[in-house]
Structure 1
Amino acid sequence: MRVRPISPPLLVEELADRIAALSGTSWVRVVIDGAPPTRPENLADALVDPLRLRGRDVLRVAAGDFLRPASLRFEYGREDPDAFYTDWLDEGGLVREVLGPLEPGGSGRVLPALWDSAVDRATRASYVTLAPGGVLLLDGALLLGRGLPLDHAVHLSMSSAALARRVEPDQKWTLPAYERYEDEARPALTADVVVRVDDPRHPALVERS
């Protein structure tokens, strides 16, 4: 294993090259996975234009728009790390509305947002159609190891010490969930690409032999 420092702009270009090289007549479902302090949404957003310049239609979706209703998320309290890990994400809705339609032979018709957790009600998002050969960029946390149908996974890795320093104070209660994720899902081993971001200004690609 080799850890190669890389600048944020070069990281985006290298990832765009890798994703664009995943050719085929069907869609490419890419997840950018990382705890909130790693800012997976920023990397996903940064990949949109480079992929379009490489001739790919792109659709951005946030896993945070596919959470379950509050009555289910908070069944065991608002700060239960085990429930946060296993019960908050509406996996069925994400597969049904986003990942499933982008299976080979699917319709390509995707609902980009399902649930507005801020007001705890369904969104009014409209369905969109991703052109064949297009790329879905899905960002979120704790997404690997769930059996979600994905074609390419990028994991933003942060040490437990760095995560504890950088997580928002009111989110400290989630730290045991991320420890469990590392132990059970082992994202640094299962992802196609691992980027270390203990200091997000100075990322490093982990290259496995």
Structure 2
Amino acid sequence: MNTRSSILSAASELLASSPTGDISTRAVCDAAGVTQPVLYRLFGDKDGLLAAVVDTVWEEYLASKRSALVSDDPLADLRAGWDRHSAFARAHPHPYRLLFGSALTSRPAAAVEAMSLLRAVLERVAAHGRLRLDPVRAAEIVMAANSGVALGQIVHPELYPDPSVSVAVREATFRGILIDAGVDDTAADDPAARAATTLRAQLGGAAEFSAGEQALLTEWLGRLQDRQTPTA
């Protein structure tokens, strides 16, 4: 194990066992058997170290999402993704809080990939004609709701004594972005916007169109999608 890995391993262990979610660089250096100048040379400052620790811990979760089997039901995959996210938050409260509830000057990269993976699932939902909104907008809504309830359960467990609140928030969120295939809900949203969302997801980079045609079609469909997207 190299010096950087030794420091990250020590910091991860100290963070996991910390009652407050805070660790000192001195304690990390003592545990890793290095001097503080070495730590600062590798990570810049404490925030840089914590950001690297968050990415290290989150890598296990992201790796599981990358390797997760894709089913024929994107809605089932979407629900499973929410539940895995919530389970990770409960298992790793301090790294989770650092990613979603802190003001680190060095931002972990994990959040960017987590959002990208979520958008990929929602693209599949859209291609099945089940998404009311543009997948990018829908991903923002789902991530905000998922991380919000998970963070609330971590930081203020006394306010959320029933763990099933995560499932309740999940279903309430999904009702806002998904189209129930068994319900005639055309009066509740814009059919043209829904059709544009589905068509845009299914077309992707269709070879039948030139780059200019693809850009124009994307613009037209985007205008229709904007009719559906809430403005407030």
Q: Same fold (TM over 0.5)?
A: no
RCO greater where, 1 or 2, for CA within 8 Å and sep 6 or more?
A: 1
Q: Please identify which structure carries the higher helix content.
A: 2
Q: Please identify which structure carries the higher strand content.
A: 1
TM-score by length of 2: 0.24
TM-score by length of 1: 0.26
